Structure 1
Amino acid sequence: MKKFSFIALLMAVMLLIAACGGSGGGDSSSGEGGEDKTYKVGIDTTYPPFEFEENGEYTGIDIDIINAIAKNQGFKIEFNPMDFGGIIPALQANQLDIAIAGMSITDERKKVVDFSDPYFDAGLTLVVTSENTDITSLDDLKGKTVAVKSGTTGAEFARANEDKYGYEVAQFEDSPSMFQEVSNGNADVLLEDYPVIAYAIAQSGLDLKTVGERLTGDQYGIAVLKGQNAEVLEKINTGLQELRDSGEYDKIINKYIGE
């Protein structure tokens, strides 16, 4: 009887060990429900007020939003800063899981990524030096040089309308270089999302101003690789809606762009 009990106990222990080994998966990032899941998030830290670095920390509207969504939905994130133009290729190469970088939702981008619900209404605007009185609209750009940031909707808009308005496009890898090009007179005008340039002018004292009406009605979205991350996209949309419902979304926006 004692021998039988010992054998039964030994078999029970072995079954328990096998069961625990089979359910662990060996990967803390794949826990059921996603609580321990860590997603690699692509950002562009040259894009205040949405993404920038301050005192060695990443901050801005996008940073606060994705951090709040992650906290709300119970997952972790690892930021991967890079040039804006490299973010979608990094998603395609499976080097990133998520991209949040003031990225406008466009039909062209929808061919390769799935977007979240829109989280910000932006729109392109023309920007010139403070003393410039010659440029107030696209019709004034014939023979001028238009500075744009590579990979952005501003760059796409500039290339699409280059022949129509007769200007020359100059591309840059980051926003500060683009701003400087207009400030020092090497370019006549730049195209930028309105909230970005309005923040830059206010915070940095740039000798620039916006002119004319907004040229587009862009909306920003959070992106994942097309057809590959439905689960995380659902978490992002759920978290984003809960931020709006709780009022936390408005607090984040007002922190950086107060009325």
Structure 2
Amino acid sequence: MAADLSSATLVEKGSLTYGVAASFAPFEFQKDGKPVGFDIDMIEALSKKLGVEAKPMNMDFQGLIPALQAARIDIINSAMYINPKRAEQVDFVPYLKIGNQVLVQAANPAGITGRDASLCGKTVAVTLGAIEEIYARQDDKRCKDAGAAGVTVLTLPTGQDSYLSLRQGRADAAFDSTPGAVELLQNSPGVYAVVGPEFESNTQIGMATRKGDKAMADALTAALKEIVADGSYKALIAKWKLPASVALFD
């Protein structure tokens, strides 16, 4: 199967218009007013294989699926974690698997030890609509079911807002992807720390297409196979310093 978009319906002819919430480093974030990151480089590589220009449309994360369903964008390319609820709304082309970490202030004043009972009665910052919100709400239920104080889930528009709320002490912890946590610790030495083991480490992330849009899904899948075969996929993982364990393909 060759990478071919000729049978797909595009928002703009000659362009692959993709929705992105550019606030989730190192996958997509803003630099000099433009989105950069692993996903941005990947969609550029895929678009070359497909013979179109990659055209980003930056928006809040919770607006991505509605924009796709309304045909304002062709696909979602925003490190979207695949879960059953989302899979009811959109189709996915998986391209990485990824784990998560619990972030705290470097001094860890709340004494949190990981994704465990130490979160009960604490405030956890997460991106609104992201899978980390689901995890935090699961922890809230788990604490309450055990007769302990629940978790206060502080939902915020972006990962940067979560980091800031943690830094300012408005949250006791934040949940982030393992690559995101690594990047944060590198860029803000002495400010944050990771506690406890990685969790949900086999969650897949994927590009999302409209339900039943087989032409688009097939074209992305074929292009993805091509960048795996020519080495571009592994090169991008290395460039963005992602752990080798994220690779879904050899």
Q: TM-score if structure 2 supplies the norm length?
A: 0.85
Provide the identity percentage. 30
1:249 counterpart SS class: helix
Deviation for aligned residue 1:206:
6.3
Deviation for aligned residue 1:76:
2.4
Bigger CA radius of gyration? 1
Partner of 1:225: 210
Partner of 2:159: 175
Change (3 A) 1:221 1:31: closer
* 8 Å contact kept, 2:127–2:158: yes
2:194 counterpart SS class: strand
Change (3 A) 1:197 1:235: same
Determine which structure has greater relative contact order: mean sequence separation of CA pairs < 8 Å that are 6+ residues apart, divided by chain length. 2
Partner of 2:100: 124
Deviation for aligned residue 1:241:
1.2
Partner of 2:42: 65
Q: Does 1:77 align with 2:54?
A: yes
Give the Cα–Cα distance (whole angstroms) in 1 for the partners of residues 225 and 179 of structure 2: 22
Please give the per-residue CA displacement for 1:11-37, whole angstroms capped at 9, x wherever unaligned: xxxxxxxxxxxxxxxxxxx96799963
Please give the per-residue CA displacement for 1:190-226, whole angstroms capped at 9, x wherever unaligned: 1111111211221243611111112212111000111
**Range with bigger deviation, 51-60 or 83-92:** 51-60
Unaligned runs of 5+ in 2: 144-149, 244-250
Give the RMSD, CA atoms, in angstroms.
2.1
Partner of 2:134: 156
Change (3 A) 1:224 1:32: closer
2:80 counterpart SS class: coil
Please give the per-residue CA displacement for 1:73-108, whole angstroms capped at 9, x wherever unaligned: 212222100011110111111111100111011111
Q: 2:81 aligns with which of 99, 104, 123?
A: 104
Partner of 1:212: 196
Q: TM-score if structure 1 supplies the norm length?
A: 0.82
Q: Does 1:188 align with 2:178?
A: no
Partner of 2:124: 146
Q: How many residues end up aligned between the 2 structures?
A: 228
Please give the per-residue CA displacement for 1:15-72, whole angstroms capped at 9, x wherever unaligned: xxxxxxxxxxxxxxx9679996322200111111111222233211000101100101
